[in-house]
Amino acid sequence: MRGMGNMQKMMKQMQKMQKDMQKAQEELSHTTLEGTAGGGMVTVLVNGNKEIIEVKIKEDVVDPEDIEMLQDLVMAATNDALKKVEEVTNQTMGQFTKGLNIPGL
């Protein structure tokens, strides 16, 4: 019978962890991170769902002859922002999986 008490306690802990994870994921979806490239010439804002929400390009960058460079800077800024989302996600969600080996998390 003692094992049943432990099982119930573990189930309650798992339910609490699931609620905490859902709350953390919700908070991440409202997080905005910024990636930059070219010394701030291009800035990309992403949310915690890895969606681009804004691209800013400084006016002095826009020169038709530099369009390829501008495209590369936008791509670099986007990748920088997405990398930051991944880092924040790992930090936030990692607290729930410490010591656990859960496939898919």
Model pTM score: 0.56
The amino acid that residue 67 corresponds to is I
pLDDT tens, position by position, 26-68? 888 888 889 888 888 888 888 888 888 888 888 777 777 777 8
pLDDT tens, position by position, 62-89? 777 777 888 788 888 888 888 888 888 8
CATH 3.40.718.10 fits 2-95, yes or no: no
Residue 96 pLDDT greater than 80, yes or no: no
Looking at residue 2, what is its pLDDT? 61
Domain map (residue ranges) of the chain: 2-95
Report CA dihedral (52, 57, 61, 67) to the nearest 10 degrees.
30
The Cα–Cα gap between 33 and 82 comes to: 8
Q: In which band, very low, low, confident or very high, does the pLDDT at 18 lie, cut at 50, 70 and 90?
A: confident
The Cα–Cα gap between 105 and 101 comes to: 8
